[in-house]
Amino acid sequence: MNFCPNCSARVAFRIPEGDSLPRHICDACNTIHYKNPLTVVGAVPEWEDRVLLCKRAIEPRAGFWTLPAGFMENGETVGQGAKRETLEEANARIELLDMFTVLSVAHVNQVHIFYRARLLDLDFSPGTESLEVQLFREDEIPWDDLSFRTVSTTLRHYFADRKANAFRLHTDDISPPK
Protein backbone atom coordinates (compact mmCIF):
# COMPACT_ATOMS: atom_id res chain seq x y z
CA MET A 1 0.00 0.00 0.00
CA ASN A 2 1.49 3.31 -1.14
CA PHE A 3 -1.51 5.63 -1.13
CA CYS A 4 -4.54 6.09 1.09
CA PRO A 5 -7.57 4.37 -0.51
CA ASN A 6 -9.76 6.91 1.24
CA CYS A 7 -8.11 10.26 0.26
CA SER A 8 -5.18 9.30 -2.05
CA ALA A 9 -2.46 10.89 0.14
CA ARG A 10 0.80 8.96 0.49
CA VAL A 11 0.64 6.65 3.54
CA ALA A 12 3.25 6.16 6.24
CA PHE A 13 4.14 2.76 7.71
CA ARG A 14 4.68 2.95 11.47
CA ILE A 15 3.34 1.69 14.78
CA PRO A 16 0.24 3.71 15.76
CA GLU A 17 0.05 5.01 19.32
CA GLY A 18 -1.22 2.30 21.64
CA ASP A 19 -0.61 -0.42 19.04
CA SER A 20 2.24 -2.93 18.82
CA LEU A 21 2.57 -3.57 15.08
CA PRO A 22 3.37 -1.21 12.19
CA ARG A 23 0.36 -0.24 10.06
CA HIS A 24 -0.27 1.80 6.96
CA ILE A 25 -1.33 5.18 8.32
CA CYS A 26 -2.77 8.16 6.46
CA ASP A 27 -1.87 11.35 8.30
CA ALA A 28 -3.93 13.42 5.84
CA CYS A 29 -7.31 11.89 6.73
CA ASN A 30 -6.26 10.16 9.98
CA THR A 31 -7.06 6.62 8.91
CA ILE A 32 -5.26 3.43 9.90
CA HIS A 33 -5.41 0.76 7.19
CA TYR A 34 -5.15 -2.74 8.63
CA LYS A 35 -4.14 -5.86 6.72
CA ASN A 36 -5.56 -9.10 8.06
CA PRO A 37 -5.48 -12.81 7.21
CA LEU A 38 -7.69 -14.17 4.44
CA THR A 39 -9.96 -17.15 4.91
CA VAL A 40 -10.07 -19.91 2.30
CA VAL A 41 -13.18 -22.10 2.46
CA GLY A 42 -13.68 -25.46 0.80
CA ALA A 43 -15.15 -28.94 0.94
CA VAL A 44 -14.28 -32.63 0.81
CA PRO A 45 -17.18 -33.77 -1.40
CA GLU A 46 -17.69 -37.51 -1.01
CA TRP A 47 -19.62 -40.01 -3.15
CA GLU A 48 -19.58 -43.51 -1.66
CA ASP A 49 -15.87 -44.29 -1.18
CA ARG A 50 -14.62 -41.55 -3.48
CA VAL A 51 -13.86 -37.81 -3.14
CA LEU A 52 -14.09 -35.09 -5.74
CA LEU A 53 -10.93 -33.27 -6.83
CA CYS A 54 -10.44 -30.49 -9.38
CA LYS A 55 -7.39 -30.01 -11.60
CA ARG A 56 -6.55 -26.30 -11.38
CA ALA A 57 -6.74 -24.27 -14.58
CA ILE A 58 -5.28 -21.15 -12.95
CA GLU A 59 -2.20 -20.08 -11.04
CA PRO A 60 -1.01 -20.65 -8.43
CA ARG A 61 -0.42 -24.38 -8.97
CA ALA A 62 -2.16 -24.70 -12.35
CA GLY A 63 -2.28 -28.35 -13.44
CA PHE A 64 -2.29 -29.65 -9.86
CA TRP A 65 -5.24 -31.28 -8.12
CA THR A 66 -7.17 -29.54 -5.36
CA LEU A 67 -10.24 -29.92 -3.24
CA PRO A 68 -12.81 -27.30 -4.31
CA ALA A 69 -11.92 -24.18 -2.26
CA GLY A 70 -11.32 -20.46 -2.58
CA PHE A 71 -11.37 -17.12 -0.82
CA MET A 72 -14.38 -16.51 1.38
CA GLU A 73 -16.43 -13.53 0.19
CA ASN A 74 -17.97 -10.69 2.18
CA GLY A 75 -21.61 -11.35 3.02
CA GLU A 76 -21.45 -15.12 3.17
CA THR A 77 -21.03 -17.71 5.92
CA VAL A 78 -18.19 -20.23 5.97
CA GLY A 79 -20.62 -22.94 4.86
CA GLN A 80 -22.11 -20.83 2.06
CA GLY A 81 -18.59 -20.13 0.82
CA ALA A 82 -17.69 -23.83 0.78
CA LYS A 83 -20.83 -24.61 -1.25
CA ARG A 84 -20.27 -21.69 -3.62
CA GLU A 85 -16.67 -22.66 -4.33
CA THR A 86 -17.71 -26.28 -5.01
CA LEU A 87 -20.35 -25.05 -7.43
CA GLU A 88 -17.96 -22.62 -9.15
CA GLU A 89 -15.02 -24.99 -9.53
CA ALA A 90 -16.82 -28.28 -10.14
CA ASN A 91 -20.41 -27.35 -11.02
CA ALA A 92 -21.26 -29.69 -8.17
CA ARG A 93 -23.99 -29.43 -5.57
CA ILE A 94 -23.20 -30.63 -2.06
CA GLU A 95 -24.81 -31.08 1.33
CA LEU A 96 -22.47 -29.98 4.10
CA LEU A 97 -21.60 -32.39 6.89
CA ASP A 98 -19.36 -31.32 9.81
CA MET A 99 -16.58 -28.75 9.68
CA PHE A 100 -13.49 -30.93 9.33
CA THR A 101 -10.23 -28.94 9.22
CA VAL A 102 -9.26 -25.43 10.31
CA LEU A 103 -5.67 -24.95 9.16
CA SER A 104 -3.61 -21.87 9.97
CA VAL A 105 -1.07 -20.98 7.30
CA ALA A 106 0.57 -18.09 9.13
CA HIS A 107 3.44 -17.54 6.68
CA VAL A 108 0.98 -16.58 3.94
CA ASN A 109 -1.57 -14.91 6.27
CA GLN A 110 -4.35 -17.42 5.58
CA VAL A 111 -6.73 -19.76 7.40
CA HIS A 112 -8.14 -22.67 5.38
CA ILE A 113 -11.43 -24.21 6.52
CA PHE A 114 -12.79 -27.43 4.96
CA TYR A 115 -16.15 -29.10 5.51
CA ARG A 116 -16.88 -32.74 4.87
CA ALA A 117 -19.72 -32.85 2.35
CA ARG A 118 -21.91 -35.24 0.41
CA LEU A 119 -22.22 -34.86 -3.35
CA LEU A 120 -25.92 -34.65 -4.15
CA ASP A 121 -25.58 -36.15 -7.65
CA LEU A 122 -22.97 -37.10 -10.25
CA ASP A 123 -23.80 -34.17 -12.52
CA PHE A 124 -20.49 -32.29 -12.16
CA SER A 125 -18.07 -30.78 -14.67
CA PRO A 126 -15.09 -28.41 -14.74
CA GLY A 127 -15.86 -24.80 -13.84
CA THR A 128 -13.88 -21.99 -15.48
CA GLU A 129 -11.06 -22.35 -12.93
CA SER A 130 -10.74 -26.13 -13.44
CA LEU A 131 -9.33 -28.28 -16.25
CA GLU A 132 -10.84 -31.57 -15.04
CA VAL A 133 -13.07 -32.74 -12.20
CA GLN A 134 -12.92 -36.34 -11.10
CA LEU A 135 -13.81 -38.74 -8.28
CA PHE A 136 -10.90 -40.57 -6.64
CA ARG A 137 -10.74 -43.62 -4.38
CA GLU A 138 -8.10 -43.40 -1.64
CA ASP A 139 -5.62 -45.51 -3.64
CA GLU A 140 -6.17 -43.30 -6.69
CA ILE A 141 -5.43 -39.92 -5.02
CA PRO A 142 -2.63 -38.14 -6.94
CA TRP A 143 -0.66 -37.41 -3.75
CA ASP A 144 2.37 -36.12 -5.66
CA ASP A 145 0.27 -33.81 -7.78
CA LEU A 146 -1.82 -32.05 -5.13
CA SER A 147 -1.91 -28.27 -5.22
CA PHE A 148 -1.49 -27.20 -1.60
CA ARG A 149 -0.45 -28.68 1.72
CA THR A 150 -3.80 -27.74 3.25
CA VAL A 151 -5.38 -30.03 0.65
CA SER A 152 -3.03 -32.97 1.31
CA THR A 153 -3.37 -32.45 5.08
CA THR A 154 -7.17 -32.46 4.84
CA LEU A 155 -7.20 -35.57 2.63
CA ARG A 156 -4.80 -37.44 4.94
CA HIS A 157 -7.01 -36.68 7.96
CA TYR A 158 -10.09 -37.64 5.94
CA PHE A 159 -8.90 -41.11 4.99
CA ALA A 160 -7.38 -41.78 8.43
CA ASP A 161 -10.59 -40.78 10.21
CA ARG A 162 -12.70 -42.78 7.75
CA LYS A 163 -10.59 -45.86 8.43
CA ALA A 164 -11.05 -45.32 12.18
CA ASN A 165 -14.76 -44.63 11.60
CA ALA A 166 -14.38 -41.49 13.75
CA PHE A 167 -14.42 -38.13 11.99
CA ARG A 168 -13.41 -35.19 14.18
CA LEU A 169 -12.22 -31.60 13.77
CA HIS A 170 -8.52 -31.13 13.03
CA THR A 171 -6.91 -27.75 13.78
CA ASP A 172 -3.35 -27.86 12.47
CA ASP A 173 -0.75 -25.20 11.87
CA ILE A 174 0.95 -25.50 8.50
CA SER A 175 4.59 -24.44 8.85
CA PRO A 176 6.60 -22.68 6.12
CA PRO A 177 8.11 -24.98 3.48
CA LYS A 178 11.71 -26.00 4.31
| Residue ranges that bind its own copies, judged by CB under 8 A | 1-8, 11, 18, 21, 24, 33-39, 71-80, 98-99, 102, 104, 106-107, 109, 111, 113, 128, 169, 171, 173
Q: Do strands 38-47 and 69-71 pair parallel, antiparallel, or not at all (unpaired)? A: antiparallel
Measured CA to CA, the distance from residue 89 to residue 66 in angstroms comes to 10
Q: Minimum Å distance from CB 57 to its own copies? A: 11
What is the smallest separation between the CB atom of 138 and its own copies, expressed in angstroms? 25
DSSP string, 113-176: EEEEEEES-S-----TTEEEEEEE-GGG--GGGBS-HHHHHHHHHHHHHHHTT----B--BPPP
129: closest CA among 42, 79, 68? 68
The Cα 53–Cα 141 span in angstroms is: 9
Nearer to its own copies, 71 or 140 (CB): 71
* Minimum distance of its own copies from residue 48's CB (angstroms): 25
Q: Least separation, in Å, of the C-beta of 145 and its own copies?
A: 25
Residue closer to its own copies, measured from CB, 35 or 137? 35
76 vs 138, which CB is nearer to its own copies? 76
Residue nearer to its own copies on the CB measure, 69 or 141:
69
